[in-house]
Structure 1
């Protein structure tokens, strides 16, 4: 029974009171009950009311159900990572007057927040989320859990990985059937280097994506699983390389350039960790050629390329300085925390050792600790520990030893 909702919607749109609309047709009390869908009514009454509103209820039913379907399809474009289709549906939905109906508003706003998150417009997404939170208590269980999912995604995009995990693990699985959130949990756990838990969630969501034939997300999930296999220890390289190359070929088949660039970056990193600097540098270059400089992953690849060329002595110091300045400029313009890495490159390339370690101590490590970047903390604490020992700063070295266990492998250098 949606006739009452439609009549109320068009009555208010026309600026009519209940009394004005129902005059000569029925009482205002009866119209009020029709609009609230708490009474029986004859088709003749709704026909007369719709005539006065100059609408055809049968046509409006079709529009209502079409819009309902479009919203579901729009949601599916996010899960399937279909950005072009998402843009088309967004435009169509925005043109539909019925989107203003209360029936659609919560779901529409949740999807709008997802849209802005997918386009890295975090501030706009957060405003929508905050407005939704004001009325969260009145939401259905499905919408309440979807809000948690969207908020978790916001935290993830904002680098708040522990907040992301906290909110996503509070989702009630019995009342929310969008198991895609397992993927975001796998990613968040990966980025704080809880590798076993990350692999667990990746395995769970892989089954879901396989059942729904979501090829793109299968690639993403298998990528996460590969990263976990090589996280703490170096996995068999031939198997690692073969699996990466298989995923890259799949990307070529479905013309997924963005994912191919990320896979090339990941494989380059595995080569770097194994001190195959020349091969790694070539893959980093290939990855960067496929990326727009404004996307976050470009800075990751550029950082890796500078590291590789510095360690492998593949480029002159002058060229590396130019690349580091470029990375710093892009990072600051895009408000990316990657500016820290490029600042470190500049200190290192300019042979400013004291400034390099002072920056690690006062800026880099506090930031990594605040964000929960476990592996980065271990990596830079190890560097700082050895520096303090070398210059005879015994107390500082002892202080660091409280949070650092001598002999741990660095994820970044595998030393």
Structure 2
């Protein structure tokens, strides 16, 4: 009997996961499309979709055309072309995707900063010639160009470690340029080299986005870098990194006053956690979901996510597998910080104070950025006591003066109106104004 098995369809699986869809939801969407087109279907189930992804079956043509519609992607992007159909096309399509990502990073930010301004600030004038030549390479030159995965990864790791000791702006400029370089290095690479470069590129783009969003308050630039990171995780097939990118992307609507819009990104990240993701990464994702629910007014759900995060942290402690090296932005102190914020938003100031004091005790010497956020939240837990609130906000400002952190400064400004106008308020306003003018 002939063997009809096919290679696993990683592209189809990845696109499903990115949307947070289950096998059953994909099947339901295909059925709806077929019904809309007055086509009958039989034998389509969630298990059928699963078998398409594992390679046990190949989608019939009647299903392939509807997969293209429901995902809004080309057949090649969904792994639906046969080897013969793909011959001569993958390299060209990969180059087109990389050029799209470059153009994405160079696009108008839409937040009041011009494209030229972003490029000057993020890259430096000396890097611009490299970008211009990169976008005009011929496909023949692209195919002959190869990068050095080990060298690129070493710089990525150095940038990640510098995050805890280097000023945000110069590191952002270096990381942004390194991400651009990664897009160039991956072109023409193949096999294991390509996968290795994609992993490092995803890490670099994620770091750049974190710096842009949390440290420097540039959400539009951050979203473009997140897009690069997410595409690179697909190229690398790294589910843990995909969770990290999607989880960070959820902060954009959460901090933007639209926490309900974070759900799709959190759902997509949650789908990836079923693929061998470390328990500590799952715990961090629950913490983000907790903050989204807290800001959306869903206090019960928010506290439930904290309970799930706590259980996952306990599981991680018993897990013999090391956390990913890049996963250095979450620990027990951060968990307590998220828990304190969830309690604060739900109105339980006593529990919030307890959790936030615990967070301060647990935060390590490299956590000065997070410390400013925790101190601001602790100030909010003393609502009604101007003296204690002012004391905590001054400590938070001390932390900001020691190491700038945009997210911490924003949190301080959010809490400041809780203190009545007077000598205490004026003193805080002067310090805030001084930092605003820097």
TM norm structure 2: 0.49
RMSD: 3.8
Q: Deviations over 1:277-301 (max 9, x none)?
A: 2221111121122126997333223
Specify whether residues 204 and 348 from structure 1 end up closer, same or farther in structure 2 by C-alpha distance, changes over 3 A only. Answer: closer
Give the match for residue 353 of structure 1: 386
- Secondary structure (helix, strand or coil) at the match of 1:233 reads coil
Q: Does 1:214 align with 2:238?
A: yes
Structure 1, unaligned stretches of length 5 or more?
A: 1-139, 406-415
* Alignment of structure 1 residues 16-415 onto 2, 5 Å: 148-158=155-165, 160-171=167-178, 173=181, 176-177=185-186, 178=197, 179-180=201-202, 181-192=204-215, 193-234=217-258, 237=260, 240-291=262-313, 296-314=330-348, 317=350, 322-331=354-363, 336-337=367-368, 338-339=370-371, 353-361=386-394, 363-384=395-416, 387=419, 389=421, 397=429, 400=432
Q: Mark the structure with the bigger radius of gyration.
A: 1
Specify whether residues 390 and 308 from structure 1 end up closer, same or farther in structure 2 by C-alpha distance, changes over 3 A only. Answer: farther
- Give 1:217 shift: 1.9
Structure of higher RCO (CA pairs closer than 8 Å, 6+ residues apart): 2
Structure 2, unaligned stretches of length 5 or more?
A: 1-146, 187-196, 318-327
Q: Deviations over 1:69-122 (max 9, x none)?
A: xxxxxxxxxxxxxxxxxxxxxxxxxxxxxxxxxxxxxxxxxxxxxxxxxxxxxx
Kept after mapping to 2: 8 A contact 1:385/1:401: no
Kept after mapping to 1: 8 A contact 2:280/2:312: yes
- Secondary structure (helix, strand or coil) at the match of 1:372 reads coil
- Secondary structure (helix, strand or coil) at the match of 2:274 reads helix
- Give 1:389 shift: 1.9
Q: For 1:143 and 1:250, how far apart are their aligned partners in 2? A: 27
TM norm structure 1: 0.52
Kept after mapping to 2: 8 A contact 1:381/1:404: no
Q: For 2:229 and 2:377, how far apart are their aligned partners in 1? A: 37
- Give 1:264 shift: 0.9
- Give 1:251 shift: 0.5
Aligned length: 260
Q: For 2:334 and 2:405, how far apart are their aligned partners in 1? A: 15
Kept after mapping to 1: 8 A contact 2:290/2:301: yes
Q: For 2:398 and 2:355, how far apart are their aligned partners in 1? A: 26
Specify whether residues 159 and 309 from structure 1 end up closer, same or farther in structure 2 by C-alpha distance, changes over 3 A only. Answer: farther
Q: Deviations over 1:50-85 (max 9, x none)?
A: xxxxxxxxxxxxxxxxxxxxxxxxxxxxxxxxxxxx
Specify whether residues 169 and 284 from structure 1 end up closer, same or farther in structure 2 by C-alpha distance, changes over 3 A only. Answer: same
- Give 1:366 shift: 3.6
Q: Deviations over 1:314-352 (max 9, x none)?
A: 58x3x55544443333225x6533455555666666775
Q: For 1:285 and 1:158, how far apart are their aligned partners in 2? A: 32
